[in-house]
Structure 1
Amino acid sequence: MRINMENNFINISELNIQDPFVSIFPVGNDTLESIRQDMDTNGFDPIFPIIVWEGKNVVVDGHTRFAAAKALGLEEVPVLFKAFENEDDAVLYSFHIQRNRRNMSDDDILRCLELLDTIHAVPKKQKNLDSPKPTRKETNEIRAKELGISPHKVDKARKVLEYGTDDIRESVNSGEKSINKAFQEVQEIRRESGEIKGKPINGLGSAAKYTQTLGKFLKELTRIREDGWHDVSQEKALADLEAIIELIES
């Protein structure tokens, strides 16, 4: 990937909008209206140009700014051209730059997990037979880092993609259901079909063991707090709590 650091102004009619770039993180109506109003008042800030695939004039990042400028009837917009080796390279750039500035919703996670799996899939003829295939756990850990979520949630999302009906997947994509809820429905369907064995686990097990474990956990957290949180970031602590919530809800 080569970057041209100089901003250029280009006629908006020369820019192309196409999948998969426009579908990675769909433009939200509320965000679009907010940016449109700001742009109407203050103009298009060239500090935040539209990122364009050099030589193809395809918008890689900045679809909301593009839509707002078009709605306002702007003829020219600031762009930053970048050269990419191929579409996968451009899509990964688009994903990472947008991922870093937003909180991923469950529909984002499901859509982007499928996208990343597709991009990272290696054709059979290109596989190195001497290299061991990553395990499901290893792959989930890689995707978790890319998506900024726990491997446990990645595994749930993957099961929704693999075993969920079209209606279940669409309910997550539309924001109607969470990944946790969809996962529970998928597991129940698989359980009823006999694909997986055992009864649903809705509790936390023995109440006495739970109370004892919780007591030890809180006691240790108190000790760490009193010693100082020097080696534990707030982000890590909150991420760990999220993992505990996911474990309980599963």
Structure 2
Amino acid sequence: MLQRHLKLAAMPTRPITAADREGDAAGHQARTFLISEQRRRFPFSYLNSIYEEMAIIVQERREADAPRMKPNPSKILEAILLVIETAEKSGRHATQFDIAKSIFLADYRHLLSYGRPITYDNFTAMKFGPVPSMTYDMLKPSFRWSVFSMPKAPWETRQINERMRQYFRPERSANRRKLSETDITALVQAFRDVKAMGFKKTSDFTHNLPAYLEAWNNRGDKKANDMDLRRLLPEFDDEMLSDLEHASLYSA
């Protein structure tokens, strides 16, 4: 089970190696050779299109194999409230950048230390680094709070510049019965780290994660791209990934 993977905490993330790149290049060359060879041997347009489709399917299958977790909206809400609460108690402000990066770092560290994330949110590579996807949506002014049977967000916001909003005056404290002690410690420490590093250093740090680099560099024309959970782990196996996906279904 997940507990046997606690050793992940002491291990560094595995970078994308030259061997990985060579393997990707070799795979691409093999697919290209397959198509060109079949065109030479069978010069019929319908066969050409079949082999081209085969190459596309291979690539899509590889991308589809990336594990996806089911986010826990309730814990995401409490995590956001806790970060805003922590900011207010320390006399600091919390922007959407501070909150999203705090939850990303807390989830990531908690996964490495305890074998599970806090919110089970999925991560997306965006211009300013990794973003927990549902957290990002919940911080938008356009988010529909009716899914929580609430008329509006349980906090106030104000625009402080062209791209940043500040989040303050939460209507209530975070429900600590929905967050474990390790959840709370990870979230509070992550917020402190984000504020200590500031925008640029936090962005630089998260931009260098292999999972982010791979997703961002392969985004094509998209403004964002899903990150592969496997790239965030120093080592993994199918059982561990299956455990994570299964646990996310029952984390509420």
Q: Give the TM-score category using the shorter length.
A: under 0.3
Given the two structures, how large is their TM-score scaled by the length of structure 2? 0.25
Structure with max Cα Rg: 1
